[in-house]
Amino acid sequence: MSTEQQTEAPAEDDGGGVATGTDTLSVTDNRTGRTYELPIEDDTIKALDLRQIKVHEDDFGMMAFDPAFTNTASCRSSITYIDGEAGILEHRGIPIEQLCEHSTFLEVAYLLVFGELPTRPQLEAWVHDVTHHTFVHEDIKKFLSGFRYDAHPMGMLLASTGALSTFYPDSNQIQDPVERYLATIRLIAKMPTLAAFSYRHNMGLPYVYPDNDLTYPENFLSMMFKMTEAKYEPDPRLAKAIDVLFILHADH
């Protein structure tokens, strides 16, 4: 497998949000009459800045209570921007509508990993690598067979994904760009296989191996729904719908 064409993702943008003298929030504690100036950066304040607000010096300090993080940002992301109320979703700054209409899921996956859409040679190498890592070790089938017939497919998918680490112990070398790339490829390639195997176990159906003549979404449909036909012919409308669904959830 060739990896020399791949590049590291560009460094994340720091947002450029350096607070000025006026980029502050004034908070007056009516218990003490004290006023605090909290720096504002990218329309946010740091939760730890609230800790300085105290009645007594030995108090723990003020905290923000926000069940389910409904108004709390846990990180700054250069990958995804989402505004549910406005109906906005962007991957790497590109509107989701544009990606769904003009790109495939594998192109979007490349975009998320490397920060830009692939060129044609990069896409061909990327698709080749993903396509040739879709098979899973035969022992994974034995592992899945240990679940109850009515086990929830999501639980099976979670367990089998974790089990992959035992087959690829070198994947923990995250500082090695080659191993990191391989781990990325394996996850993208094998996830549809594991999901389809989990579904068919739940349905009491034999597993269907990947068909590398098919596209990424077509292959998933084949592994899910192929029955007695010699060659599964996926409905292109379903394949497109699945591809769009994958794009919508690509950053999850």
- Domains of the chain: total: 2
> Does 199 lie in the same domain as 110?
yes
> Does 4 lie in the same domain as 108?
no
> Does 126 lie in the same domain as 13?
no
Q: What per-residue confidence (pLDDT) applies to 180?
A: 94
Tokens standing for residue 215: 């596209």
In a domain, 175, yes or no: yes
User: Could you tell me the pLDDT band of residue 8, with boundaries at 50, 70 and 90?
Assistant: very low
DSSP line for 34-45:
EEEEEE-BTTB-
Q: β-strands 88-91, 24-29: how paired?
A: unpaired
In a domain, 66, yes or no: yes
Integer CA distances (angstroms), 203 to 6, 177, 196, 207, in order: 39, 39, 11, 10
> Does 171 lie in the same domain as 46?
no
> Does 233 lie in the same domain as 124?
yes
> Does 58 lie in the same domain as 111?
no
Q: What per-residue confidence (pLDDT) applies to 83?
A: 85
In a domain, 72, yes or no: yes
pTM of the model: 0.77
What CATH number has the domain bearing residue 217? 1.10.580.10
Residue 47 belongs to domain spanning: 1-76
Please choose, from the candidates 54, 55, 36, 56, the residue with its C-alpha nearest in 3D space to the C-alpha of residue 46.
Answer: 36
* pLDDT single digits (tens) 71-128: 888 888 888 888 888 999 999 999 999 999 999 999 999 999 999 999 999 999 999 9
CA gap 139, 160 in Å, rounded: 11
Contact 179, 120 (CB under 8 A): no
In a domain, 32, yes or no: yes
> Does 113 lie in the same domain as 224?
yes
Domain boundary (38, 59, 76) is at: 76
Contact 61, 54 (CB under 8 A): yes
Domain boundary (57, 76, 95) is at: 76
CA gap 145, 128 in Å, rounded: 30
Q: Where are the beta strands (DSSP E) in 62-133?
A: 80-83, 88-91, 94-95
> Does 135 lie in the same domain as 44?
no
In a domain, 18, yes or no: yes
> Does 70 lie in the same domain as 176?
no
CA gap 207, 99 in Å, rounded: 32
> Does 57 lie in the same domain as 134?
no
> Does 231 lie in the same domain as 109?
yes
Contact 151, 202 (CB under 8 A): yes
- Beta bridge mates, 25: 38
Residue whose structure tokens are 């690829």:
168
